Structure 1
Amino acid sequence: MGSARRILIGCAIIFGVGIVLALVGPFGSFEASFGLRLIYWLAMSYAGYFLYFPAMVAARALAPRLEFPEPALWAVACLIVTVPMTAVTWIANFAWHRPSWPTLDQALAQYFNVLILGALVCALFWFVQQRRVAPPTPAAEPGEPGLPRLVERLPAHLRAAPIALEMEDHYVRVHTPQGSTLLLMRMRDAVAELDGMPGALVHRSWWVARAAVQGARRDGRNVRLQLAGGIEAPVARAQIAPLEAAGWL
């Protein structure tokens, strides 16, 4: 799914969230007219989306690099981003009906109120993301000549020699020249179904096809392989020397 389409879908979901909040009127907002509630909650919902969404994207990208579970990083990102989101809500409330600085207790109460809503919406987006994951499929049979068995598990429009495999929780993301998808399987099982395709496990959560490597980028002691399609794969420090000896770097 392209990033532009993902943002459009996210904005549509947030529009629905804003309408629901306007109808419910949580945290004392029900006392206002519906029109005012609708404007307020749509504004807060979209402000939250454009604060939380980049943080969730960053958490997803950092999870394999830090070798940390993605849901845990989502939770940490949610806790952090709730701080500026609380400031946004306070500014909006100040302009609306609270012409005074909040006390520490009021600030903490507002933080936790914002955190509750932010966590619920983040959980909603997590659920939507998981729903887009490809369902598990039976063991693949030998498929098209020249392509590994793993390709048979992919949607028809993605069936091509994999560029890389990326572990995400209990799933493996298969990157191909046509895009990527998630498969519910273990990394070692996915690698086994590559049928000896030239490549290597360059990181505990990444397998990379040798033919897809276009270069390498170094940042101090960290090395990332630059792959076809603009993909970058981290290299575990223990793998740098073997890959250099094999001519990968």
Structure 2
Amino acid sequence: MTLFSPMTFADAPSSTTARRRWLPASVALVIAVAGTLAVLGAFGTYVSMPLPLRLLHFFSVALVIGGLVHALSQSARRFVFDGALPFWAVLVIAAVAAPPGAWIVQQSLALWAPISLRYVGYPELTMQVLALNMLIGSVAWALRQRVGTPAIARDAAPALEHGSLDLRAKLPAHCRHASILALSAEDHYVRVRTDRGDGLILINFTAAIEALGNGAGVRIHRSHWVSRRVATEAVANGRRKGHQNIRVDDDTLLPVSRAGRKLLNDLCAE
């Protein structure tokens, strides 16, 4: 007698655009699964709880465990992987979240249906939460890959045609096949920002832009370049109007020069 744990949040993409697209879908999936389990009276809850209590139980526990999983995932993305989580990391987070998740379920059952605790113990709850974590996390990760791959492929394809393999080879392993969002000159180095994190590589800034190809993006400043994808979004959303910056992600705001604004205008006119 337990509750699923919403591992759907575990591997939401790291870029702002991808997160805006994926997070609502993740929340909707969690709500749908919680509601289904409540209506079906999963794990024997139909015996000890009426439907309103089951709905309250499943949704409240989903919210708490979802917050825990989200916090663990965000920490892993920021401090360990500097980008999107690999599949094995989703499974590790599923395992780490299972014991506290089982305790949360146990406390909820103690509050709403204490009689049910006569038939289920903490070890059993832990294994049930772990199994559901693994299942939902795996499905969510697979769906994210399916949604994210085409966009990455569209951005990466022209870059590879223009010989960017050498540039990508210099990036950290987790960024080599990611979508390149922006380049920024830092002394003799270039910071390459991708949708899976960033890396600092030793290369001439102009050479880095040329490696990606003329049609891959726009040089918005003497020290900054953004991909066509980022530039198009900025133009479409009107973020460049009246502003001197383009936001690449939650933590990165790049300045736009007068010449850069002209290039953005030209892009908008295409």
Determine the structure 2 residue equivalent to 1:125: 140
Which residue number in structure 2 is paired with residue 109 of structure 1?
124
Out of 35, 41, 44, the residue aligned to residue 52 of structure 2 is 35
* Structure 1 range deviating more: 167-176 or 21-30: 167-176
Runs of 4+ in structure 1 displaced over 6 angstroms?
99-103
CA RMSD in angstroms, aligned pairs only:
4.6
Give me the whole-angstrom Cα distance separating, in 1, the residues matched to 2:148 and 2:24.
Answer: 19
Does the 8 Å CA contact 1:52/1:81 hold for their aligned counterparts?
yes
CA distance 1:120–1:170, shift in 2 (3 Å): farther
Shift in CA distance, 49/57, structure 1 to aligned 2, threshold 3 Å: same
Q: Is the 8 A contact 2:178 2:194 kept in 1?
A: no
Question: Normalised by the size of structure 2, how large is the TM-score?
Answer: 0.51
Over the matched positions of the two proteins, sequence identity in percent amounts to 17
In structure 1, the partner of 2:158 is: 140
Q: Look up the match of 2:30.
A: 14
SS at structure 2 position matched to 1:82: helix
CA distance in 2, matches of 1:168, 1:122: 20
Q: For 2:101 and 2:36, how far apart are their aligned partners in 1?
A: 19
Alpha carbons of 1:195 and 1:21: their partners in 2 closer, same or farther (altered >3 Å)? farther
Report the CA distance between 1:170 and its aligned residue.
7.8
CA distance in 1, matches of 2:160, 2:149: 20
Partner amino acid, structure 2, of 1:33:
P
Q: 1-side partners of 2:116 and 2:159: how far apart?
A: 68
| Structure 1 match to 2:74 | 57
2:109–2:117 CA contact under 8 A, matched in 1 = no
Cα distance in 2 between the residues matched to 1:181 and 1:35? 42
Contact 1:17 1:45 in 2 (8 A): no
**Aligned-partner residue type, residue 74 of structure 2:** V
Q: Is this contact kept in 1: 2:103–2:122, CA < 8 A?
A: no
Unaligned runs of 5+ in 1: 151-161, 183-193, 200-209, 213-227, 232-249
Displacement, 1:82?
1.7
Structure 2 unaligned regions, length at least 5: 1-16, 184-192, 197-204, 211-221, 225-247, 253-270
Relative to 1, partners in 2 of residues 1:28 and 1:20: Cα closer, same or farther, differing over 3 Å?
same
Of structures 1 and 2, the one scoring higher in RCO (CA 8 A, sep 6+) is 2
Matched residue SS, 1:171: coil
Q: Work out the CA distance in 2 between the residues paired with 1:82 and 1:129.
A: 22
User: Residue 113 of structure 1: CA displacement?
Assistant: 0.8
User: What is the CA–CA distance in structure 1 between the aligned matches of 2:57 and 2:157, rounded to whole Å?
Assistant: 51
Q: Which amino acid in the other structure matches residue 92 of structure 2? A: V
